[in-house]
Structure 1
Amino acid sequence: MIHLVLGGARSGKSRYGETLVRQYTALGFDACYVATAQALDAEMASRIRLHQDGRAMDDIDWQLVEEPLALTARLKRLAKPGRVILVDCLTLWLSNQLLAGNPADEPASTDSDFAITVATSSKHDALAQWRQAKAEFVGALNALEGAVILISNEVGSGIVPMGELSRQFVDEAGWLNQAVAAVADNVTLVVAGLPLVLKSS
């Protein structure tokens, strides 16, 4: 079962995703939290701590897994009957992938050689590799056992950003969300903390 949860910044999408996880743990599922964020600066480190503190205070016994790049391979290993996985979030995974294409950046720690491959390629090659990684990710979703809840940002409702990389991010995020929504069993848009059902199995 794949459930895509979309929302803007501070929309309540992560909290809603955790509410869905709680419904599964009440049925006896074990819970796994897959974090795609990287603490590359103080502000992001503070955001990560905020999420960590929130999870520490809830009633879910989380297994935490950090995976900034090799998300598909990680989910294939983690998914199993009786387990619910919350991935937070797909747009940070996309950012990691796009930024890994800049040779000036150090590749993120991962159990895959994908980061090294991307970091040593041209920007064009990195974009092509991202699109291949996205296709592999979307293609793998319906074969995953158990329940997978995917959090993603809805970034297409604002103005077109300045800068090539920013525009590329918005385009790729929109296409990623469309591709995942097409194969997901359920899709929910969260606005101001309120879930709006877009697709239901």
Structure 2
Amino acid sequence: MSRDDGAAPRRVALIGGGVRSGKSAFALALARSLGQRRAFIATAQPFDDEMRARIAAHIRERGDEFTTVEEPVALPERIAALSGVDVVVVDCLTLWLSNLLLRDEAEAHIHEHIEALAAAVESARPHVVLVSNEVGMGVVPESPLGRVFRDLAGRAHQRLGRSASELYMAMMGVILRLRPGPVAVVGEDGR
């Protein structure tokens, strides 16, 4: 994953963890360390007032440091079309998977979307920072849809993990770097 323009090697980071574990804050800090021209692809959809307020708060928090692009479904295409940025943050993959599932996409078709995303990430010119929720560490979901979602998320993490040069896990406000080794607690900038 090196660049041909003499710049530092391109980085692809996958950051997983639970809700409010610190993964998004870490992703933003990592992105700030990777370049001045930053894009943020948001996969959330504002279906109700509470979600609209959350989205607005997140945009305010990022300020003008990031260009926000809202893309709930066509994530591979949006990444492939990016130009003029040093780094892109995608937050979050599990919401993207939910969006696909709620469109009644067949599981096999969602796997095709995951492969397309991996290809887009692997060929992207900017650094890519992917954020996702780890959902497979709890109880077995009660509904068939919940189980399909959990399984898709696990498979997506495995596939995108193979595309990532860096893997991080956020737990209780601590960031663990899993790849490259050795496993270590890291600071906000990934060091």
Give the TM-score band, short-chain normalised: 0.7 to 0.9
Cα shift at 1:50: 2.9
Deviation of 1:42 (Å): 2.8
The answer to whether 1:140 aligns with 2:120 is: yes
Match of 2:100 among 83, 97, 101: 97
Q: Is the 8 A contact 1:5 1:13 kept in 2?
A: yes
> Which residue, 34, 52, 70 being the options, matches 1:66?
70
Aligned-partner Cα distance in 2 for 1:46–1:150: 23
Could you report, residue by residue, the CA deviation over 1:58-87 in whole angstroms, capped at 9, with x for unpaired residues? xx521111110000011011156x510000
Aligned AA for 1:154?
E
Report deviation, 1:48: 1.7
Q: Does 1:11 align with 2:21?
A: yes
Give the gaps of 5 or more residues in structure 1: 102-117, 119-125
What is the aligned partner in structure 2 of residue 177 from structure 1?
157
The match for 2:46 is: 39
For structure 2, the 5+ residue unaligned runs are 1-10, 182-191
| Alignment: residue pair count | 171
Please tell me whether residue 88 in structure 1 is matched to residue 103 in structure 2. Answer: no
Partner Cα distance (2:65, 2:58) in 1: 15
Specify whether residues 79 and 154 from structure 1 end up closer, same or farther in structure 2 by C-alpha distance, changes over 3 A only. farther
Which portions of structure 1, spanning 4 or more consecutive aligned residues, are displaced by more than 4 angstroms?
Answer: none
- The two structures have a TM-score, normalised by structure 1, of 0.80
What TM-score, normalized by structure 2, do the two folds share? Answer: 0.84
Superposition deviation, residue 44 in structure 1: 2.2
Take 1:47 and 1:192, find their aligned partners in 2: how far apart are those partners? 21
Q: What letter is aligned with 1:71? A: L
Take 1:151 and 1:177, find their aligned partners in 2: how far apart are those partners? 10
| Residue 33 of structure 2: aligned partner | 23
Q: Which amino acid aligns with 1:53?
A: R
Whether the 8 Å contact between 2:77 and 2:120 is mirrored in structure 1 is no
Asked whether the equivalents of residues 138 and 183 of structure 1 are also in contact (C-alpha less than 8 Å), the reply is yes
Equivalent residue for 2:59? 52
In the alignment, what sits opposite 1:106? none
Counterpart of 1:76?
80
Identical columns (%): 39
1:189 is paired with a residue whose SS is strand
Shift, 1:131, TM fit:
1.1
**Local SS of the residue matching 2:131:** strand
